[in-house]
Structure 1
Amino acid sequence: MNRFHWHLTEDQGWRIEIKKYPRLTEVGAFRNGTIVGHYPGETNDETPYKGFYTQEEIKDIVDYAVKRHITIIPEIELPGHSSAAIAAYPELSCFPYEPTVIPENMMSKKSLKEMKGDRKKFVQETWGVCNDVFVPSEATFTFLENVLSEVVTLFPSNYIHIGGDECPKKNWKRSRFCQNLIKKKGLKDEHELQSYFIQRIEKYLNSKGKKIIGWDEILEGGIAPSATVMSWRGEQGGIVAAKQKHDVVMTPNNFCYFDHYQAKPTEEEPLAIGGYTPVEEVYSYYPIPGELKEDEQKYILGAQGNVWTEYMANTSKVEYMILPRMTALSEVLWTSKESKNWEEFKLRLQNMRRIYDKDGYNYAKHLFTK
């Protein structure tokens, strides 16, 4: 819980300054609108959304965290969730001249108008998974190595998170370059091509004295030699990784995703991405799966609470979504399984409420008696 996993790049925006590639923030940090309502959206708000952290701002944040004994682990997504980078540098795509796909006609009018001209690649304005992913070319690896060389100088963490999740293989399957590369490298399929991609990046980051963390999809096609796995699609990925003697951070979405609704019926709650994860569900979690042998359990480093902010427009909403669920997860991680007691926790939570009130936090009150 004293690690801050900072997700800095996505399809919907590139949020970190990279001096060698200024278009990443000149183009990639801006989108012309955002969908209204749940994915795939009811309409587009037609409102520009922009912003990124300068390297000087990042240094200040890292310094602030270090003074409080918090380690920041940055995430630079690859090879999927890369639409914002591709919007800035279309040559990173398998098909640079193909236009950005517009899910359910939810792109802004401005982007649609610009697409009729010479520009074809845009920062995504909808949520979800996009087929336009990095092409595994030498030019792409050079680009990513240059980006990561700036990232590693900003963050003292031993780890760099490289994503690796939700990378559709559709474009790789129809790309002549990718199919030739699969044959050239003696790979079995596109899953092994992703493994090749991840291992190339791991080797580079290892040369910089860093280790990689990736979402559990990095197990597909063969895991990189020293990678740590972040298991989000349930626990199975973490179990498989631990049995292969890889470190694991457990973060199964049914227990650890704090962007889910906290109460039923959902109509009484502020708009969220979906799901239902009340405080009691979070508290019931135990991050070491029972099917792991004693010598395998040591690979479970802990667990993580995730806060995805598609539907959190301000700090007050973030506070509401994480409290008191983060308090519950803290006790899950810092208390032995035998010492956990839900009824006692609810009583002690009344004392935590006084701290929330004193510090002015906007917390969810479903568990508290009036």
Structure 2
Amino acid sequence: MQFVKKYPEIFSVSDAESGGKDLFGGRVDFVNVLNMGKEEVYTSLEKLFIEVMDIFHTSPYFHLGADEANLKLIVDDPDVKKFMKKNNLGNDVHELYRYFIVRMNDFFKSKGKQMFVWEGFSRNGKIEIPRDITVFEFESLYNLPNHLVEDGYKLVNTSWKPLYVVRSGNPDPNVLPLKWGPERIYEWNMWRWETWYYKSPAYKKPIQLDRNKNVIGAQMCSWEQTDESEVPSLRKRLPSFVERIWNVDKKVEFDVFFEKVNKTDIVLSEIISDKSQDSLLIGFNIIGDAKGNPIREPLD
């Protein structure tokens, strides 16, 4: 019997502007990055994390987030400079970022939790990132999956392409949803990373690894969507994803598989009393142009 284990995630370091300067020691012009050069930040975060851990008390995991940090926004901050000097971090603000990850990992381990992070720290750095941190690899930009495996980290494959479902239900006709059809997802495997973003090494040539025990699973991500669009956009994509991670050896033709999906989808409609479907499904796939803009892949 397999059980579902929930775990909490709080986006730390980046995506933090709503926290305000009083709680996390930053400034308005920091926009989305915590001021990791103030002890008040660590004190506030630990209090917040403890409250969340009390809610998810049965979970052995905690996801720190810790990705997409625009460190240029804090590099000249006097508190950051003072903090880095005090802790012998040198002059590279990336070492402060690595210090933050290591310190948070020590905190979670002291509470009996295993820490997850998004891909974000680079392969090179003076401060070593512990191998007991599980990395959710999504963009193959900051640190490549093959390098992380070589360096001994455990990975969860969250490949941007084709596992993200983004912006469904946005009323703005100029906003292009970022998602891929069930057939494209069915072609993916757990050891393969792709992306539509032109700056990633996985843009022109997907990164395909041999089977490796350090790739411990995969995750499909749904971001920036309206509530009412979630089920329609996921109901016929999730089965392809689940099939690829639960049944990695036996693979039937997609048409045969999708016929079964359509049959079970009828049952789902009856259970939830909702037949709503995504109008952008079969044949809807995203690619990136030479300037890094997402565009719809032309149909054959």
- 1:248 and 2:137 aligned: no
Structure 2 counterpart of 1:85: 19
User: Which residue identity lines up with residue 175 of structure 1 in the other structure?
Assistant: D
- 1:328 and 2:260 aligned: no
How do 1:292-331 residues align onto structure 2 when only pairs under 5 Å count? 292=209, 297-308=212-223, 310-312=224-226, 314=227, 316-331=228-243
Secondary structure, in 3 states, of the residue corresponding to 1:136? coil
- The question of whether the paired residues in 1 share the 8 Å contact of 2:9 and 2:62 is answered with yes
How do 1:328-347 residues align onto structure 2 when only pairs under 5 Å count? 328-347=240-259
Match of 1:182 among 48, 61, 84: 84
CA distance in 1, matches of 2:210, 2:266: 41
- Give the TM-score normalised by the residue count of structure 2: 0.76
User: Which residue identity lines up with residue 333 of structure 1 in the other structure?
Assistant: I
Note the C-alpha offset of 1:241.
Answer: 2.0
- The question of whether the paired residues in 1 share the 8 Å contact of 2:60 and 2:114 is answered with yes
Structure 1 counterpart of 2:116: 213
- The question of whether the paired residues in 2 share the 8 Å contact of 1:279 and 1:325 is answered with yes
Note the C-alpha offset of 1:347.
Answer: 2.1
Gaps in structure 2 of 5+ consecutive residues: 193-206, 284-300
Match of 1:352 among 264, 267, 287: 264
- The question of whether the paired residues in 1 share the 8 Å contact of 2:168 and 2:230 is answered with no
Distance 1:131 1:258, change over 3 A: closer
Distance 1:143 1:261, change over 3 A: closer
Structure 2 counterpart of 1:238: 145
CA distance in 2, matches of 1:93, 1:139: 6
CA distance in 1, matches of 2:238, 2:209: 26
- The question of whether the paired residues in 1 share the 8 Å contact of 2:25 and 2:34 is answered with yes
Residues 250-294 of structure 1 show CA distances to partners (whole Å, capped at 9, x for unaligned) of: 1111111112669xxx99x98866334122221111012475455
- 1:165 and 2:67 aligned: yes
Distance 1:170 1:273, change over 3 A: farther
Residues 4-41 of structure 1 show CA distances to partners (whole Å, capped at 9, x for unaligned) of: xxxxxxxxxxxxxxxxxxxxxxxxxxxxxxxxxxxxxx
Farther off after superposition, 161-170 or 335-344: 335-344
- The question of whether the paired residues in 2 share the 8 Å contact of 1:214 and 1:228 is answered with yes
Secondary structure, in 3 states, of the residue corresponding to 2:64? strand
User: Which residue identity lines up with residue 71 of structure 1 in the other structure?
Assistant: K
Residues 113-159 of structure 1 show CA distances to partners (whole Å, capped at 9, x for unaligned) of: xxxxxxxxxxxxxxxxx344233322211111111122222211111
CA distance in 2, matches of 1:91, 1:283: 44
CA distance in 1, matches of 2:151, 2:252: 30
User: Which residue identity lines up with residue 140 of structure 1 in the other structure?
Assistant: V
CA distance in 2, matches of 1:259, 1:272: 10
Structure 1 counterpart of 2:103: 200
Distance 1:238 1:73, change over 3 A: farther
- The question of whether the paired residues in 2 share the 8 Å contact of 1:282 and 1:325 is answered with yes
Distance 1:144 1:131, change over 3 A: closer
- The question of whether the paired residues in 2 share the 8 Å contact of 1:164 and 1:215 is answered with yes
Structure 2 counterpart of 1:72: 6
Distance 1:353 1:131, change over 3 A: closer
How do 1:100-179 residues align onto structure 2 when only pairs under 5 Å count? 130-155=31-56, 156-179=58-81
User: Which residue identity lines up with residue 298 of structure 1 in the other structure?
Assistant: K
Structure 2 counterpart of 1:12: none
Note the C-alpha offset of 1:337.
Answer: 4.0
Note the C-alpha offset of 1:181.
Answer: 2.6
The structure in which a higher percent of residues are helix is 1
Gaps in structure 1 of 5+ consecutive residues: 3-68, 102-129
- Give the TM-score normalised by the residue count of structure 1: 0.62
CA distance in 2, matches of 1:207, 1:133: 23
User: Which residue identity lines up with residue 165 of structure 2 in the other structure?
Assistant: F
